[in-house]
Amino acid sequence: MAIKFQYNKTSQQKLKKQLSIRERALPTLKNKESALRVEVKKAKKKAEELDEQVTEKRRELEDMMRLWSEFDPSLVRIKDVKLSSKKIAGVLTPILENIEFEVHDYNMFKAPGWFPDGIDILKQITKIATEQEVFVRKMELLDYARKKTTQKVNLYEKVQIPGYQDAIRKIKRFLEDEENLSKAAQKIVKNRQQKMEVQS
């Protein structure tokens, strides 16, 4: 990235201010990046654990598959999913608070005796699967923020900070050269005046 500047003290001061802002922000950005990295790992691990739980519950039910053909899945439906949000390293992430189920009435005398347990099992699997989806979404949000933060860290660290330092160095050298030339010119003028005074 080419930094635009002029060879004067005002431009040098502006560049120093911009450099200072970035140097102060860099440690905070690095801390945010590492915090997000940790949170992404936690969310991913939790999502994987919940996925395993769903798979495990389904495996447990394989023995009862013949019975499930008798079960009416329309008996249970999700009425409401309550989500809240929590900020993690400046990123709003979803949290599953509660799932409200609506269980339709059914004839307990005609239905098999395992229906109440079946309803509970269905609720458990739904809750775990929903929670797993929430953690996957949380992981995606955190990972997106981590990538953006990493980009900003790299921009500051590898492009902008060295660019500002280089521009400041160039201005400083230019101003020093200008000052040296001015002093040399003054010396020449002074020497000429002294020679002219001696000759006259």
Render pLDDT for 144-195 as a digit per residue (tens, 0 to 9).
999 999 999 999 999 999 999 999 999 999 999 888 898 888 888 888 888 8
Q: Where are the domains of the chain?
A: 9-192
CA distance 106 to 115: 10
Is the domain covering 9-192 a CATH 1.10.8.60 domain? no
Residue the block writes with tokens 């249970």:
76
Q: What is the CA radius of gyration of the chain?
A: 35
The helix or strand, by DSSP H or E, that contains position 191, with its residue range, turns out to be helix 161-199
Structure tokens that stand for 88 in this block? 């993690």
Distance of CA 136 to the CA centre of its chain: 15
27-82: pLDDT as tens digits: 999 999 999 999 999 999 999 999 999 888 888 777 766 666 777 777 888 899 99
Structure tokens that stand for 147 in this block? 């990538």
Averaged pLDDT for residues 80-99: 92
Q: What confidence category does residue 1 fall into, taking pLDDT thresholds of 50, 70 and 90?
A: low
Judged against a pLDDT cut of 70, whether residue 200 lies above it is answered with no
- The mean pLDDT value of the chain amounts to 88
Judged against a pLDDT cut of 90, whether residue 89 lies above it is answered with no
CA distance 43 to 61: 27
Dmax (CA) for the chain in angstroms is 134
- Residue 148 C-beta-side C-alpha neighbours within 13 Å: 9
94-115: pLDDT as tens digits: 999 999 999 888 777 777 777 7
Per-residue pLDDT, 121: 83
CA distance 161 to 154: 10
CB 43 within 8 A of CB 138: yes
Residue 42 amino acid letter: K
The reported pTM is 0.76
118-140: pLDDT as tens digits: 788 888 888 999 999 999 999 99
